[in-house]
Amino acid sequence: MDDYSQPEILPPAWINKDPSELAESHVFIISCFVAGVIGILTIVYTAFQWRRNISLSLMKATATKKKDPKLRNMIPLAAHTWNLESGSRGRNINCCVCLKSVSSSQNLGSMVGSDSFIHRCRVCGAAAHLSCSRKAHRDCKCVSMVGATHVLHLWAVRWTEVVDQPDEVSFCSHCEEPCSASFLGGSPIWCCLWCQRLVHVDCHSSFYSDTGDVCDLGPFRRLIVSPLHVKELGRTSSGGILSSITHGANEIASSVRASIRNQNKKIKPGKEVCVESSNGSVGESSTESTNDINLANDASNRTQEKENYNGNMNMYTNGTSQHQDSDVNKFGGKLRVKRSLSDSKRDESYVAGMKQKYELTDLGPDARPLLVFINKKSGAQRGNSLRLRMNILLNPVQVFELSSTEGPEVGLYLFRKVPNFRILVSGGDGTVGWVLDTIEKQNFVSPPPVAILPAGTGNDLARVLGWGGGLGSVDRQSGLCSMLQEIEHAAVTVLDRWKISITNQKGKQLQALKFMNNYLGVGCDAKVALDIHNLREENPEKFYNQFMNKVLYAREGARTIMGRTFADYPWQVKVEVDGVDVEVPEDAEGIVVANIGSYMGGVDLWQNEDDTYENLGPQSMHDRILEVVSISGTWHLGKLQVGLSRARRLAQGQTIKIQLLAQLPVQIDGEPWMQSPCTLTISHHGQAFMLKRSSEEPIGHAGAIVAEVLAHAESNQVINASQKRSLLHEIALKLS
């Protein structure tokens, strides 16, 4: 039986102990374990606090070194431009004054509840507590350094996490060691606010001895407007008063002329006269636009992405004469184009000039400066972040935010004498259309080409030009640094632009001319866009990013599937293409006239690879031809989105007429409205230069090289701007 006895698990010394003594031993062991854990945690916490204190001490030493009067007098500096920002965005960021974390900031009071706020510089990204910001030193970018011989490195502690950083500048510029924080703090890092290069503070003295701290503006030097060529304008009070008096006198004179015209109309009433518009072209001379008439002067409503383009659009001035009864008189059977155009242009130039704070001087023949327009109210709602990122990478004077009080005119006026500049538009299709319209009104001899940073909802034009369907695609490709590199080497292409005339049965124009870059839709697709537009007007807070915008589009589309709102659609519209009637299919609930190969966020309606239509050619955005297709309902739209169906091709042509026999929804490039019975006439208006991403296209590389050669030839006066424009236009068409 002894063989089956249980083995002795406890030590022999414990077998004969009291249970109370055993309990005390267990307590002692547990106490020792807890004490050991606490000791280890204390050591770890002490080590991290030591690291933090070392880092703060080095930061303070670094900041003290930057405040050295000898260093501060060498580099022109500017004050920070503070913006109020939520404290939740300031996590892991230290105040640039007290060097403490800004995550636990002050409140503004009961007006904003318990939310904390901080000040954030919109130029360099530095953050400060509300109580510290007024004590901050002038160590921000100075955008104007006229008179200096060189741009010097503007070193600053990296207060903010840099999202966009070139790969080649992630190492110290002197010792070439990685610039990353070590466990014990190590040497803090300085970042140049101009070229984005990094240097260890300990390496700076040696680096200064070797280079003299001269900055070459880094990898984007050709795109950056050098502060050496930016002159700050100073206006005296007397000059301002004199300008105001002069402008007031001009306004009085304009009013008197308008009164005289009205009296002449009452004395000599004439018949309605419509001035025919000629088709403008990029290749045509801009001096032929002396007879243009401005039809719409209200630009204050153009900040919303989908309503800011066509509704309040000013007419193109590229070789076009347009109809406006108040500006056209008939006398002796001859047309007199009044001087209101020159007056309005003079007023626009005056307003743009009065808003100028800087003037650009000679930038040099190798410069290809980039003018940036940002619409922060576009679909992605990331305008503030994009502006900060652009200000960090470029000169802030070349970055403009579009608003109800400031359109693209101000930026274009600043660059009016700059050759070979390019434009980047951050926004959706409506914002791009707004900028293109304003460019044509400036009468550039050689208009600047336009690239697109897709920040809208659909971003159809950006898709066909290779810039992606949203900001997510840009961030996945190394952010804005990669985008800027591709813009510098992008190919120039051509985009057809179309005008839409809305007339009644008697041929009288009901609305101002509208302009189209992408597509026009009549029927079910416009109904979905109109519902979304109305929802945006009622609840703008719901449209806070691109993904939610698409979700709301899908929801509104699903609502219209249940009932056939457009059951009688084939008998409510008539379509005519180049003078030939086109039969509308009986199952059609919408007609789309397309200029580009992307619709409603990437749907290819025409599909050039489809060879079932032998009598119809491929689609192109610069062949002066439009494509007409039909859609058989909202459910068909949904299947088009996921690639399960195709639109039905109807026709191709240069002049499209759509007659509405009933009230129907209409949209142009995403701007919808309800249209009463009328006739929509679509005809070619002109062409615009655009930039196409060429990194994946051999022909695109050739186009980029040709554009660079022509720009170099113009800079060396081998050809003039008009010749460069014509050559670039023809070569872009051939390469496309």
Q: Which CATH architecture has domain 500-689?
A: Sandwich (2.60)
Average pLDDT for residues 709-721, to the nearest whole number?
86
Average pLDDT for residues 633-645, to the nearest whole number?
78
- Please give the full DSSP string across 433-462, using - where no structure is assigned: HHHHHHHHHTT-SSPPPEEEEE-SSS-HHH
**332-351 burial string, b = 16+ CB within 10 Å, else e?**
eeeeebbebbebbbebbeee
Amino acid (1-letter code) at residue 202: D
Whether 111 has a pLDDT exceeding 70, the answer reads no
Please state the length of the chain. 736
Q: What is the pLDDT of residues 358-378, one digit of tens each?
A: 999 888 888 999 999 999 877
Average pLDDT for residues 142-162, to the nearest whole number?
80
The H or E element containing residue 692 is: strand 678-692
Q: How far apart are CA 513 and CA 316, in angstroms?
A: 10
Residue 65 binned pLDDT confidence (cut-offs 50, 70, 90): low
Average pLDDT for residues 336-360, to the nearest whole number?
61
Distances (CA, A) of 183 to 49, 52, 55, 191, 714: 11, 10, 10, 20, 55
CA proximity to 303, closest of 402, 379, 394, 384: 402
Asked whether the beta carbons of 728 and 707 are under 8 A apart, the reply is: yes
Q: What is the pLDDT of residues 263-301, one digit of tens each?
A: 544 444 333 333 333 333 343 333 333 333 333 334 434
Beta strands 198-200 and 189-192: pairing type? antiparallel
Q: How far apart are CA 197 and CA 690, in angstroms?
A: 31
Residue 10 binned pLDDT confidence (cut-offs 50, 70, 90): low
Residues β-bridged to residue 686: 497
pLDDT, position 339: 42
Q: How far apart are CA 427 and CA 304, in angstroms?
A: 10
Average pLDDT for residues 384-410, to the nearest whole number?
91
- The predicted model scores a pTM of 0.76
Whether 628 has a pLDDT exceeding 60, the answer reads yes
pLDDT, position 721: 87
Whether 105 has a pLDDT exceeding 60, the answer reads no
Asked whether the beta carbons of 143 and 193 are under 8 A apart, the reply is: no
CATH of domain 76-102+116-139: 3.30.60
Q: How far apart are CA 473 and CA 360, in angstroms?
A: 34
Of 28-32, 233-237, 587-591, 670-674, the one with minimum mean pLDDT is 233-237
Q: At CA 559, angle to CA 555 and CA 562, rounded to 5?
A: 145
Average pLDDT score over the chain: 75
Residue 127 binned pLDDT confidence (cut-offs 50, 70, 90): confident
Domain boundaries, the chain: 35-73, 76-102+116-139, 500-689, 698-735
